[in-house]
Amino acid sequence: MTQRPRLSVIGTGYLGATHAVCMVELGFEVIGVDVDHAKIDSLRAGRIPFFEPGLPELLAKHMNSGALRFTTDYAEAAEFADVHFICVGTPQKQGQYAADLTYVESAFRTLAPHLKRRTLVVGKSTVPAGTAVQMEQVLTELAPADGVELAWNPEFLREGFAVEDTLRPDRLVFGVHSDWAEQQLRAAFAPVIESGTPVIVTDFATAELVKVAANSFLATKISFINAMAEVCEATGADVTQLADAIGHDARIGRRFLNAGLGFGGGCLPKDIRAFIARAGELGVDQAVSFLRDVDEINLRRRARTLELGLDLLDGSYRGTRVAVLGAAFKPNSDDVRDSPALDVAAAVGRRGADVVVFDPEANETARKHAPELNYVGSLNEALTGADLVMLLTEWQEFRNMDPQAVSSLVRHQNIVDGRNVLVPAQWRDAGWHYRALGRP
């Protein structure tokens, strides 16, 4: 039985911080590394610098165990660890579809010169196919020790369920070039593998593609049901019942068939665009051209949501007060990257409405992105005096709203259900004008 390797996690954002803390929970000694001093100071003080259910409790549990520490010093990490996980971000390039690989390259180039003994470096970041081979070259050129190897191990965690997804993933994918690399990875995930998680051992290109293919499929599934929502609107059909009915077919499945305002966040939108860009470079543009439609259908839902609000306000947002419920790209997250909710809120503001936003967790992150909007600390404050209510992120608190009780707070009983989570009859019976995407 191989000894448990000591691990480093480079990049302590959503992915890295979760991976570091969860690997300690699984029994490993871990050092977390980031160039951002503020993030490291926060983690050292026991504070997770973003909202992720369950993660603060796990950090607190292991803070003083001696098994987890954080540093800004790559040399310290190289000295300590046998396996290094690269978990830095790959955002969309400004004004382009392609992924920005600056952080990945920088992490490899900074780490490599410190690798003075045989080690495995594991890429976890979502990257365009072909990146791993380039990073392997960087290690060959810059690492002083012999036998420093690369593996690619894509990550599938969902924000809001990141702890669960890391401790009990659906599958593990190991892109490797040697048996030694595979054995190192098997040792680094031993507790997860022992609990029965399937492992797919493959080459670099397949490992890289598994991740973008999975996210492309999920995005396509969402845009498929949203395309059906457009057809439902033209025919008077109900997309939620349509989704239930087709979802009973086990080959289709009901998950990720929730029609509404569409997908956002730091992953799905930028991953499909980066895939389109990379496929173009590879000469297989046509193979993924449908992803352009997926993106467009998704963005059209935002425009349609604005129209529904406009209908309820008799043609103009100007001078009205609009309560926007939700700013995060999905519930149980404070992430507003490419958030459909915040995008619509800002557009309503630009059309002359007084927009009052409430999100249970994302008010602060949203304020940084859209400082021109008004943020309030409670649902009731947001609703008070509203001419129109727009439910744009399906937090449980919003789903639980009692249409009778909240009607006394608003000025006019108009509601757009941007996530199809309310029961239309209940709202209409309570006197509301109710509109939703893909539903009569």
Out of 268, 308, 323, 422, the residue judged to bind ligand UGA by CB under 6 A: 268
The sheet carrying 83-86 orders its strands as 68-71, 30-33, 7-10, 83-86, 120-123, 149-152, 172-175, 199-202
**Residue number with CB closer to ligand UGA (159 or 387):** 159
Phi-psi region of 204 (alpha: psi -120 to 50; beta: other; left: phi over 0): alpha
Nearer to ligand UGA, 215 or 363 (CB): 215
Contact flag: residue 300 with ligand UGA (CB under 6 A): no
Q: Could you tell me the end-to-end alpha-carbon distance of the chain, in angstroms, rounded to an integer?
A: 61
Identify which of residues 157 and 276 has a Cβ nearer to ligand UGA in the complex: 157
326 binding ligand UGA? (CB under 6 A):
no
Among the listed residues 22, 87, 232, 267, the single catalytic one is 267
Asked if 264 interacts with ligand UGA (CB under 6 A), we say: yes
Residue 82: Cβ within 10 Å count: 18
Binding mask 207-226 for ligand UGA (x = CB under 6 A): --------x--x---x----
Distance CA 127, CA 130 (A): 8
Per CB under 6 A, which region of 95-103, 264-272, 363-371, 375-383 contacts ligand UGA? 264-272
Q: Which of 175, 265, 349, 438 binds ligand UGA (CB under 6 A)?
A: 265
Taking the CA atoms of residue 87, residue 89, residue 90 and residue 96 in that order, the dihedral angle to the nearest 10 degrees is 180
How many CB atoms lie under 10 A from the CB of residue 159? Answer: 24
Select the residue interacting with ligand UGA from 43, 121, 267, 345 (CB under 6 A): 267
Of 119 and 332, the one with the shorter C-beta distance to ligand UGA is 332
Between the alpha carbon of residue 2 and those of residues 54, 175, 187, the distances in Å are: 30, 20, 6
How near is the Cβ of 226 to ligand UGA at its closest, in Å? 8
Tell me if 158 contacts ligand UGA by CB under 6 A.
yes
Distant-in-sequence, close-in-space partners of 84: CB < 8 Å, separation ≥ 6: 7, 8, 9, 10, 77, 78, 111, 119, 120, 121, 122
Question: Residue 207: enclosing H or E segment and its boundaries?
Answer: helix 204-235
β-pair partners for 307:
none
Q: What's the CA gap between 187 and 100, in Å, rounded?
A: 31
Phi, psi of 282 (to 5 degrees): -85, -5
Largest CA distance in the chain: 74
The reply to whether 262 sits near ligand UGA by the rule CB under 6 A is yes
In angstroms, what is the minimal distance from the CB of 243 to ligand UGA?
8
Cα 84 → chain centroid? 23
Taking alpha carbons only, the member of 72, 73, 162 closest to residue 124 is: 162
Residue 144: CB atoms within 10 Å: 11
Question: Contact region for ligand UGA (CB under 6 A) — 57-65, 228-236, 254-262, 362-370?
Answer: 254-262
- Contact call for residue 257 and ligand UGA (CB under 6 A): yes
DSSP class of 5: P
Beta carbons within 10 angstroms of residue 94's beta carbon: 6
Rule CB under 6 A: say whether 258 interacts with ligand UGA.
yes
For ligand UGA, what does the binding mask look like between residues 115 and 134, x meaning CB under 6 A? Answer: -----------x--------
- CB of residue 76 vs ligand UGA: minimum separation in angstroms? 27
Q: Quick check: 156 binds ligand UGA (CB under 6 A)?
A: yes
159 scored as a contact of ligand UGA (CB under 6 A): yes
Nearer to ligand UGA among residue 365 and residue 413 (C-beta): 365
Does the protein bind ligand UGA through residue 16 (CB under 6 A)?
no
* 232 is a catalytic site residue: no
Choice between 13 and 32, CB closer to ligand UGA: 13
Q: Which of 97, 108, 263, 434 forms a contact with ligand UGA (CB under 6 A)?
A: 263
Interaction site with ligand UGA (CB under 6 A): 126, 155-159, 215, 218, 222, 256-258, 260, 262-265, 267-268, 329-330
The catalytic residue positions are 267
